[in-house]
Chains A and B, each alone.
Chain A
Amino acid sequence: MIATEAHARPNAAPDERYYTYAYLDEQTKRMIRRAILKALAIPGYQVPFGSREMPVPYGWGTGGIQLTAAIIGPEDVYKCIDQGADDTTNAVSIRRFFATVADVATTEDTSEATIIQSRHRIPEQPLADGQIMVFQVPQPEPLRGLEPRETETRAMHAYAEYGLQYVSLYENISAYGRIAATAGYPVMIDERYLMSPSPIPKFDNPKMHMNPAILLFGAGREKRIYAVPPFTRVRSLDFEDYPFETQSWDEVCALCGANDSYLDEVVLDDQGQHMFVCSDSHYCADRRAKGHAGPMAGHALAHIETEIAVEEA
């Protein structure tokens, strides 16, 4: 399941498959495609759809898996990340699922992929024309925490009454002195619909603005699909005197030395040792392969990653 495997398709003969191509039956895929088209036509609007039972529990990415199943074809190259990493359990499982049921090539290389499924991150490498990003969304309704009634939130979307969302930002500032919300930070799509960008860090919010790729969002349990078409304005909400800011770190990535990526803190022992590493594993590996080195380059963690890569190769 690594870069070298790209374009090497498992190619199971159609009659040997136990499932319809890409797992879902054709009628379901058509239904989801109709919802996707509607979502693309009304950027940021949550389109209801008949979410199906999937072979994983709700909360494990059923919305994203259904979206991918509806759009994937044998020529696609599929990448799946979880917390930015290609090698985490959920990412590996979902990638293997599609390699099996859709006969697609898989990759870890962001630029090589045509479909990238993700929960928490948008890759560091800028997305390109022709790529589709699929997000797994736990709660599609940005106003839900403040307004529990679905009838009311629907009316608020219909009439673009979004003052309430600012209440959460106000609470943040009064409690922490700044807008402390970090993930699932609400955005306005094309100055019309308020949208929750799923639990991506607000670090990734600016990447959505005027993005050349298609961004699709699927919430399986909540049965909603929404989308950001290419080159759409995406504005993160803020106050005039408290402008939107992304996270920043004093450290650079300990392995590759990147100072422009989203960093995860990794605890190394129980003595207080820790390191910051890129959350995007492909970006970090790519930089290291190109000779970039951070302050802890050559650390055991990096070796472990390399070993796995070698074994899988």
Chain B
Amino acid sequence: MTDILERPTSVTATDQAAPLLRVSNLTKYYGHVAGCLDISFEMRPGEVLGIVGESGSGKSTLLNCISGKLAPTSGSIAFNSRRHGLVDIYDLSEPDRRRMQREDWGFVHQNPRDGLRMRVSGGANVAEPLMNLGRRHYGDMRQATMDWLSRVELDLGRVDDKPRNFSGGMQQRIQIARNLIHNPRLVFMDEPTGGLDVSVQARLLDLLRELVRDLGLAAIIVTHDMAVARLMADRLMVMKGGHVVETGLADQVLDDPQHPYTQLLVSSVLQI
């Protein structure tokens, strides 16, 4: 775990000073049902935040609110974008917010079918974010696609295959390449290794950890898998019933859980 704590040199001191993301008193109600309640936290560039908790604890609601997909009932989400600086993302006009999402963010879905266009080839899926940012040179984009496919350890000969012809793990790799190719500042990951068998999961986690570290990416990873949280995250937030019940460094939370629920969560991890 020590290697994760060594932050990449690409993150400058001034970057470190300003928060990349500041969530203040975020609350989301679905009618009278609470999704998440009064959540506040900050993230710095290059930091990996894990959000753990059981199903229904509000993890996904929180992620959807932060990633601009779901307007919160109250509270604010400020993001330090390249174009606008630190602004509340819901204060931006819709086209500005969508452009910021395209330019500065990536979103890795649990199910690759939600994050990929299944009717176009893997290569085109990876190149699409570049085209969305206005790149119009086929040769350059093709080269970038190839570079990224090799970075996520995919067979370059299969670049033009449709996603449905790839295995689940390979689809997830394509999705990861697609979400990193445009050099985002923040990547959201919703159970990135859910539904994969353990050996594929291990290789994918290894790859993700390496990429996140190499690129100095900030990432928010939502997971119910404690092992994923320990491997990937610098910091953990434990959620229950819409509240954050415990927060701290990942190792600290997992090795010395304070809240009874966290203790339960950590102790329920299966040991082989």
B126-163: CB near A (< 8 Å → 1, else 0) gives: 01100111101111011000000000000000011000
Is the CB–CB distance between B138 and A163 below 8 Å?
no
Q: What is the CA–CA distance of A158 and B159 in the complex, to the nearest angstrom? A: 32
Q: Which residues on the A side are within 8 Å of B95 (C-beta)?
A: 158-159, 161
Q: Does B120 contact A (CB under 8 A)?
A: yes
Q: Which residues on the A side are within 8 Å of B127 (C-beta)?
A: 167, 170
Q: Specify which of A158, A164, A173, A242 is in contact with B131 (CB 8 Å cutoff).
A: A164
Residue of A nearest to B132 (CB): A163
Q: What is the CA–CA distance of A196 and B134 in the complex, to the nearest angstrom? A: 20
Contact residues of A: prevailing secondary structure: helix
In B109-126, the 8 Å CB interface with A consists of 117, 119-121, 123-124
Q: Specify which of A159, A168, A171, A239 is in contact with B98 (CB 8 Å cutoff).
A: A159
Contact A174 B98, CB 8 Å, known A146-B120, A163-B134, A167-B124: no
Is the CB–CB distance between A171 and B132 below 8 Å?
no
Q: Specify which of B117, B131, B133, B138 is in contact with A241 (CB 8 Å cutoff).
A: B138
A-B contact pairs, 19 of them (CB 8 A): A146-B117, A159-B95, A159-B99, A161-B95, A163-B132, A164-B128, A166-B131, A167-B117, A167-B131, A168-B120, A170-B127, A170-B141, A174-B123, A174-B142, A174-B160, A175-B160, A240-B136, A241-B137, A241-B139
What's the nearest-Cβ distance from chain B to residue A188, in Å? Answer: 12
Interface residues in B, total, Cβ within 8 A: 25
Q: What is the CA–CA distance of A173 and B131 in the complex, to the nearest angstrom? A: 14
Q: Does B94 contact A (CB under 8 A)?
A: yes
Q: Does A8 contact B (CB under 8 A)?
A: no
Q: What is the CA–CA distance of A170 and B134 in the complex, to the nearest angstrom? A: 13
What's the nearest-Cβ distance from chain A to residue B69, in Å? Answer: 13
Q: Which residues on the B side are within 8 Å of A166 (C-beta)?
A: 131, 136
What's the nearest-Cβ distance from chain A to residue B126, in Å? Answer: 10
Is the CB–CB distance between A167 and B120 below 8 Å?
yes
Q: Does A266 contact B (CB under 8 A)?
A: no
Q: Specify which of B117, B134, B138 is in contact with A239 (CB 8 Å cutoff).
A: B138
Q: What is the CA–CA distance of A163 and B159 in the complex, to the nearest angstrom? A: 20
Q: Does A308 contact B (CB under 8 A)?
A: no
A161-189: CB near B (< 8 Å → 1, else 0) gives: 10110111111011100000000000000
Q: What is the CA–CA distance of A171 and B160 in the complex, to the nearest angstrom? A: 8
Q: What is the CA–CA distance of A169 and B141 in the complex, to the nearest angstrom? A: 12
Residue of A nearest to B130 (CB): A163
B55-74: CB near A (< 8 Å → 1, else 0) gives: 00000000000000000000
Is the CB–CB distance between B121 and A174 below 8 Å?
yes
Q: Which residues on the A side are within 8 Å of B98 (C-beta)?
A: 155, 159, 161
In A279-305, the 8 Å CB interface with B consists of none
Q: Which residues on the B side are within 8 Å of A146 (C-beta)?
A: 117, 119-120
Q: Which residues on the B side are within 8 Å of A173 (C-beta)?
A: 138
Q: Which of A170, A175, A240 has the most CB of B within 10 A?
A: A170
Residue of B nearest to A158 (CB): B95
Q: Which residues on the A side are within 8 Å of B160 (C-beta)?
A: 174-175
Is the CB–CB distance between B133 and A163 below 8 Å?
yes
Q: What is the CA–CA distance of A50 and B26 in the complex, to the nearest angstrom? A: 44
Contact A164 B142, CB 8 Å, known A159-B94, A171-B124: no
4 cross-chain pairs, A with B, having the tightest CB-CB distances, nearest first: A163-B132, A159-B95, A163-B131, A166-B131
In A125-183, the 8 Å CB interface with B consists of 145-146, 155, 158-159, 161, 163-164, 166-171, 173-175
What's the nearest-Cβ distance from chain A to residue B89, in Å? Answer: 16
Is the CB–CB distance between B128 and A167 below 8 Å?
yes
Q: Which residues on the B side are within 8 Å of A171 (C-beta)?
A: 120-121, 124
Is the CB–CB distance between B159 and A174 below 8 Å?
yes
